[in-house]
Structure 1
Amino acid sequence: MPKMMPNAVCLLVISLLVGLSQETSINVGFPELKSREINVRSDDSSSSSSEEDDVTAISETVVLCSSFKIFATRKTRADAKAACEGLGGMLAVISDEDTYLAVTEELRKHRPLSTAFWIGLSDLDSDGEFVWEDGTVLKNRCFSVWEDGQPSTEDCVLLKRNFKWKTQKCSRKRGYICQLPVADCPTDCTSCITI
């Protein structure tokens, strides 16, 4: 049975290549932990007849109990949010340093980036009060990576190519990052499963 390590920071990074069509083994290792080979299978079951909706994640990273899928296809924030919800998730909540580092590490693998990415932070409901998609108010968190001079008067937040947050008009088309729950996640999401 897997050993549970409470309060451990556990980052499991999986890079998926676009077009992966069969089961592939990826070796995942941690400095203090034994390496483990896992199997990854792409999900081609959600194909669509619309070119706009026919989108493949350029990369994916798993942090604790969430999978973060990165999409380069440009959409408005509302369309990006709907796309994430259609996958069973939401726009990414990047509210701590571990998540930020894991997501930006994945983005670095795809440099040069051709777009910035919508994340799940906005002040759409109350001007000046930024709230994450999970309902967490930003001011209640100590972590932020605003670009100098930000936030501005715009309502929606994106992660720029320099990995800083910037507000922008929600109607602009950008890439986006979805956050989805991970199956078989321990009830205590601050724990780490080691093999």
Structure 2
Amino acid sequence: MRVFTIYVSYSFNFGPSVVMTTGANLREQLQNIQKEIDDMRMDVNAIKEMQALQTICLRGTKLRNKCLLPFAEVKRFHEASETCFSRGGTLIFPRDEEEDEMLQKYIREALPSNSFYWLGINDLQDEGKYVDVAGAVAEYTPWEKGGEQPANGRKLNCVRGSLENDGGWAVENCREEYPFICEFTIP
């Protein structure tokens, strides 16, 4: 025995019409509607995310394809990293000299009383191999004192930037407390 459902739909152009459909056809239509609703939810979430990034940029600044948000409060490396992550970002990490110079200029304005700040790279997993939070190797590393990578032990694993010593980087104990800047990628 086949089950038929009759329902009336209204078309803006053609007025009311009567449609006969089977239970299977109705299920297919419901699945299609559910897929459209799910797609709309994803679109709304993407719009909300973009609005949040715009709000962050209003409180911070835009640098290339990133929004930067400074935090003057000092925190340990992991706490600073968690703060950025909880807001959808990561600790700032300049990828080249030009970006590093722009970042230092911004830090002088945003955090004027601080000369050191956390960067989003470390060698916690493999001593001497500096990586960002995604695990990508840091290729640009302007170390203090001649540009050499510091030869440190297990207690010094987190990298901080400096507005002193020509802006060179240094490896610190991750328990030190410095201000920090979160970066958020703009889609």
What are the equivalent positions in structure 2 for 1:6-45 lying under 5 Å apart? none
Runs (4+) of structure 1 exceeding 3 A deviation are none
TM-score by length of 1: 0.57
Q: Which runs of 5+ in 2 are unaligned?
A: 1-53
Higher relative contact order (CA 8 A, sep 6+): 1
Write out aligned runs for 1:119-138 (5 A). 119-138=119-138
- What are the superposed Cα offsets for residues 125-175 of structure 1, whole Å, 9 maximum, x if unpaired? 11111111232212xx2x322101652411000012322211100011111
Deviation at 1:76, TM superposition (A): 0.4
Q: Name the SS for the 2:105 alignment partner.
A: helix
Match of 1:166 among 163, 167, 170: 170
Deviation at residue 119 of structure 1 after TM alignment: 0.8
* Counterpart Cα distance in 2 of 1:155 and 1:82: 17
Shift of the 110–181 alpha-carbon distance from structure 1 to 2, 3 Å rule, reads: closer
Q: How many residues align?
A: 127
Higher CA-based Rg: 2
Please say which of residues 80-89 and 127-136 is displaced more in the overlay: 127-136
Checking the alignment, whether the CA contact within 8 Å between 2:117 and 2:161 is kept in structure 1 is: yes
Which residue does 2:7 correspond to in 1? none
Query: SS in structure 2 opposite 1:172?
Result: coil
| Pair 1:110–1:87, CA change in 2 (3 A) | closer
Give the letter for the 1:105 counterpart: K
Structure 2 residue 158 is the aligned partner of structure 1 residue 156: yes
Q: Distance in 2 between matches of 1:135 and 1:83?
A: 19
Q: Secondary structure at the match of 2:101?
A: helix
Residues 65 and 42 (structure 1 numbering): CA distance in 2 closer, same or farther, change over 3 Å? Answer: closer
Q: Which has the higher helix share?
A: 2
Unaligned runs of 5+ in 1: 1-40, 44-56, 186-195
Shift of 1:108: 2.3
Q: 1:74 to 1:109 in 2, by over 3 A?
A: same
Aligned twin of 2:60: 60
Which SS does the other structure have where 1:109 is aligned?
Answer: helix
Task: Confirm whether residue 175 of structure 1 aligns to residue 179 of structure 2.
Answer: yes
Aligned to 1:47: none
- 1:144 aligned residue (136, 141, 144): 141
CA contact (8 A) 1:116 1:158 kept: yes
Letter in 2 for 1:156: C
Q: Please tell me whether the aligned partners of residues 61 and 103 of structure 1 are also in contact (alpha carbons under 8 angstroms).
A: no
